[in-house]
Amino acid sequence: APGDGPEVRCAALRALRDVAQKGDEGTLLALKRILEQPAAPTDVRLEAANVLRSVAASSSVVSSHAALVALADRDPGVRSVAVSALRSICGRRECVELMRELTAMATEEPDAEV
């Protein structure tokens, strides 16, 4: 359908970034669902990751789970934004559980770039 192309979805995500409140769980879950779709265009996943970086809340479990999904993306740009989002979610010596999940991901990931 003409109204759901990548350009429209990216514009909708940018608008969402402008109106969503930091830490809004519904927004974060919607972004996570987009990031979980490997068939979604890279531009859409990248925009979702950028919105996540803006909306993610410090020490938020929902934020960190969405960022972990982005961190596993095949696109290095999406992964880079995910790292930035994780930095804003977890300060130093915070998010011990997240570090366990990251360690598990890193040991399972054959691609050394991740």
Q: Could you report the per-residue pLDDT of 38-74, keeping only the tens digit for each?
A: 999 999 999 999 999 999 998 888 998 999 999 999 9
CB 82 within 8 A of CB 50: no
SS3 at position 56? coil
- Is 75 domain-assigned? yes
How far is 6 from 99, CA to CA, in rounded Å?
33
User: pTM above the 0.85 mark?
Assistant: no
- Is 51 domain-assigned? yes
| Number of separate domains in the chain | 1
Provide the pLDDT for residue 97. Answer: 66
- Is 98 domain-assigned? yes
- Is 113 domain-assigned? no
Share of the chain above pLDDT 90, in %: 63
- Is 66 domain-assigned? yes
